[in-house]
A and B are shown apart, each in its own frame.
Chain A
Amino acid sequence: MLAYLLRRAAWGAATVLGVLLFLFALFFLYATPQDIARRALGEKAPPEAIQQWLVNHGYDKPAVWNPEHPLDTRLAEHVRRMLLFEFGRSDADDVPIAQRLRDGVGPSLSVTVPLFALGLPLALSLALLVAFFRETYIDRAGVVLCVLAMSVSVLVYILGGQFLLGKLLRWFPISGFDPDPSVLLRFLALPVLVGLFAHVGADVRFYRAVFLEESGRDYVRTARAKGAGDARVMARHVLPNALIPVLTNVVVEIPFLFTGSILLESFFGIPGLGSITVDAIQSNDFATLRVMVYLGALLFIAGQMLTDVAYTIVDPRVRLG
């Protein structure tokens, strides 16, 4: 088992390097630094200002190969700094990126954690309910509802939620964020509700499929032949086995709780990492965008490893080889 985990860790490291190389190729080789500088400083900036900007942001070194000092290239610099989490400054407004990230994590978590903590039990219970009543009208209605829910764009959910609950019924503020605990809940309610609605359809459909798949297995037949009732079969046999594929879906999301949802944050005015990303996109801030993609990749790989660990806990076939 240890060997398995080590091998996966090695793959993860190789993937990180792959991501760094890809980012380098995309950002440094395709778009010239002059373009980026000009975009940041404006078209009319004098050449000296551009040059200075380039030096400040490290764009002046040779790209990949430097015959005099093999490690003094943009590529090496890029890899080194990313690995050491030295993110430098934003291309748009020169604010240190790391500081921005630190400020943004809190607000992001305040939305994603409740969304996760509420969404998972909700989807699982609904899926269990629907799977328990398989082949009845409850099941059929449930599936149709899920497909309907999945077919609506999340943008429409956001706009609709804001309109209905914010403007029409005036239950919650349309957007905004205030870390003061006494009012925080009111600002979080709408984004969390909208987020739940947007994902519940796809999640319930997936979990239902997992439960139904397990319910059709031979060992369930054996349990029934032993005299076990439906409830016991669900709880003692189907659920523990269904947990395994469900886990892949769930644990892999945990690292992304930190990056926040781009859409929810920007529509609801939450100053988290998602908003930072959107600002970076809209101001052509390549430096920040690079960092966000890199972090996203790191978190994804971390999520994969977490899933592997979770598997060894939940599935005896993995644990005991």
Chain B
Amino acid sequence: MEGYVLGNGFAALLIGLALFGSWRVRSTPFWRERVAEIVRRRPVATFVVALYVGVALLDSVAWHDALPGETSVDARSLLDRAFPSDFRERSYSAPLAAVEFYGGQPLAHPGRHLLGTDILGRDVLHLALGGARVALLIGGLTSLIAIPLAIAFGLAAGYFGGRVDDVVFLLLSTLASMPSILLLVALIMVIGRGPVQVCLALAVTSWVSFCRVVRGETLKLRELDYVQAARALGVSELRIVWRHVLPNLSHLVVITFVLTFSQLVLSEAILSWLGVGIDGSWGQMIDQARDELARDPIIGWNLAAASTALFALILAVNRVGDAVRDVLDPRTLRDSP
């Protein structure tokens, strides 16, 4: 199956989930009030995040142009189609320039590259916008793997205690004690370098701290009077977990997701710099821009575009994350550094 079909499917799935999620939020007063409060506190940041999500979605829906006999044409996404189809130059060009940076030859599209072009002649604005999809993929797919994993193990450890708890705790300690960058790299070197593998590796290194939180919270919930009452009444353990413990973890999930999102994206940047990141990410752009600052005259637009795009998203997510944590406020997460 071609990559773009998977991408389309994923995008459709996300949109479906988002619609379902917003329907659930609108129909539950608890969540409706909380979401409204978060947006009220951080309107700008929420808007910025929504903007990035929009760009990412635009970049996720792609298809081939139906050209008879031309099977080597890449699938182009909605974002790609906002730019002319053959927008490349030969090499560097400054923002809005009419000529190449080295040599002064006239460009194929003079004055049309708002942020210039990189070493391969690709439009920098296009690249920077494309990084949004990668960033959201990193945050989204990794969390999709890590969070259920953390909940499953944390619940089991907290609820059943005893040997189960000991085993899980040992597993957590083992994973937590290894330096995460090294572990990430080691995992990726072993399981491969595709985007899914990178997200898998990130998930393995990031589920531990949330698992600890889930375990702690489950321990507390287990001792609550109404849970004990349910047990005394003979309600099955599974039902108790499903109806009494899990719903009380939902706000923790939201907070953790938002707070770790930025960490994941920043980690990927470092992975890109080490050569094991995901293609098209801002980290990769920053890595490629490394020696551009040393040139004379300097080439700064590549680095500037990628850093700004990265910074704006991370800042917005951090700001929204703080509001999310304040509004959903479990004291448990405030004690963690």
Contact = CB atoms under 8 A, between A and B. Distances in A.
Interface of A: 11, 14-15, 18-19, 21-22, 26-27, 30-31, 147-148, 150-156, 159, 162-163, 167, 174, 206, 209, 213, 245, 248-249, 256, 259, 262-263, 277-278, 281-282, 284, 286, 289-290, 292-293, 296-297, 300-301
Nearest to A289: B186
A15 B170 contact: yes
Contact of B190 (A31, A153, A206): A31
Given A156-B307, A296-B179, A263 B270 contact: yes
Contact of A153 (B187, B294, B307): B307
Contacts of A155: 269-270, 273, 283, 286-287
A284 B189 contact: yes
Interface of B: 170-171, 173-179, 181-183, 185-187, 189-191, 262, 266, 269-270, 273-276, 283, 286-287, 289-290, 293-294, 298, 303, 307, 310-311, 314-315, 318-319, 322, 334-335, 337
A27 B170 CA distance: 20
Contacts of B178: 19, 22, 293, 296-297, 300
Contacts of B174: 15, 18-19, 21-22, 297
B296 to A, nearest CB: 9
Per DSSP, are chain B's interface residues mostly helix, strand or loop, or mixed? helix
A174 B283 CA distance: 21
A19 B171 CA distance: 9
A300 B314 contact: no
B274 A281 contact: yes
A93 to B, nearest CB: 18
A286 B294 CA distance: 33
Contacts of A209: 334
A293 B179 contact: yes
A162 B337 CA distance: 29
Contacts of A163: 293, 298
A148 B312 CA distance: 10
Contacts of B275: 281-282
Contacts, number: 122
Nearest to A155: B286
B170 A153 contact: no
Contacts of B293: 159, 162-163, 167
A151 B318 contact: yes
A301 B270 contact: no
Q: Which 6 A-B pairs have the closest CB atoms?
A: A18-B174, A296-B179, A151-B315, A300-B177, A151-B314, A297-B177
A187 B189 CA distance: 33
A160 B287 CA distance: 13
Nearest to B282: A153
Given A31-B190, A245-B335, A153 B311 contact: yes
Nearest to B300: A163
Nearest to B315: A151
B182 A296 contact: yes
A9 B183 CA distance: 24
B177 A159 contact: no
Given A14-B170, A22-B174, A147 B286 contact: no
A289 B177 contact: no
13 contacts: A18-B170, A22-B174, A147-B315, A152-B311, A153-B283, A153-B307, A153-B314, A155-B269, A156-B286, A167-B294, A292-B179, A293-B186, A300-B178
